[in-house]
Amino acid sequence: MASAHYLEHYLDSLESLPVELQRNFTLMRDLDSRAQTLMCNIDKQADDYLSNVKGYAPDKKTEALSSIQRQFDKAKEYGDDKVQLAIQTYELSLPVELQRNFTLMRDLDSRAQTLMCNIDKQADDYLSNVKGYAPNKKTEALSSIQRQFDKAKEYGDDKVQLAIQTYELVDKHIRKLDSELARFEAEIQDKSISTARNIEGNSQKLGCKKTKGKDIKKKNLS
């Protein structure tokens, strides 16, 4: 069937991506890996800071917090780069796949138009000469016209299916891109907020302990 042929052609066309798209996907994976490594380092440094901050001199505290902040900034930079690459990839890949679909639809349309022209010609010939046709000749002519109508309808159905696939392809790309961007940004944001709260909470606890210690000393002295 024509539908099976064009579906197979469509699937085959998606098996390989252009070199530029492969490069973008490789870069995005690399950026994601670097960002994840940074976030692990941030977690470790934040834990070390919270565990040892009591013994840190002021300049050591500043240095530790600055290091964490620098890595947050770098992770955000990687995230921004990944977002830009994702947008570029979307803009590159979608037109390629759409072009394949449009090419297939144009081919189907051309075949259907050719069939309709043949049908018109055969119908005119039939109407002009039907009086002289033997019964079997009439049946043969009408059967030929019917077969071509069926084939043209089949091409039309295939074209409709390709149009639906094209719409779903666009929608899928948009939803996937939105989901990936939202997930990545949420991860960075959550890590940043969580670490900042932990550091702030620990600092407040230390401040309270120091205040209580001073109060106790004052009471003892008095």
For residue 123, give the nearest of 102, 149, 150, 85 by alpha carbon. 149
Query: pLDDT, tens digit, for every residue of 100-146?
Result: 888 898 899 999 999 999 999 999 998 998 889 899 998 999 999 99
Q: Which ranges of the chain have pLDDT less than 70?
A: 1-18, 90-95, 192, 196, 198-222
Task: Tell me the DSSP string of 84-97.
Answer: HHHHHHHHHHHHHH
Q: How far is CA 101 from the centre of its chain?
A: 19
Residue 205: C-alpha distances to residues 154, 181, 198, 211 (Å): 75, 36, 11, 10
- Distance from C-alpha of 158 to C-alpha of 221, rounded to nearest angstrom: 93
Q: Residue 61 corresponds to which tokens in the numbers above?
A: 């505290």
- Distance from C-alpha of 39 to C-alpha of 189, rounded to nearest angstrom: 11
The model's pTM is 0.43
Residue 169: C-alpha distances to residues 98, 100, 175 (Å): 8, 12, 10
- Distance from C-alpha of 153 to C-alpha of 106, rounded to nearest angstrom: 15
**Residue pair 17/93 in contact by the 8 Å Cβ criterion:** yes
Give pLDDT, residue 6.
44
Give pLDDT, residue 211.
54
Angle of helix 58-129 versus helix 2-13 axis, rounded to 10: 150
Give pLDDT, residue 94.
63
Give pLDDT, residue 213.
52
Q: What is the DSSP letter of 222?
A: -
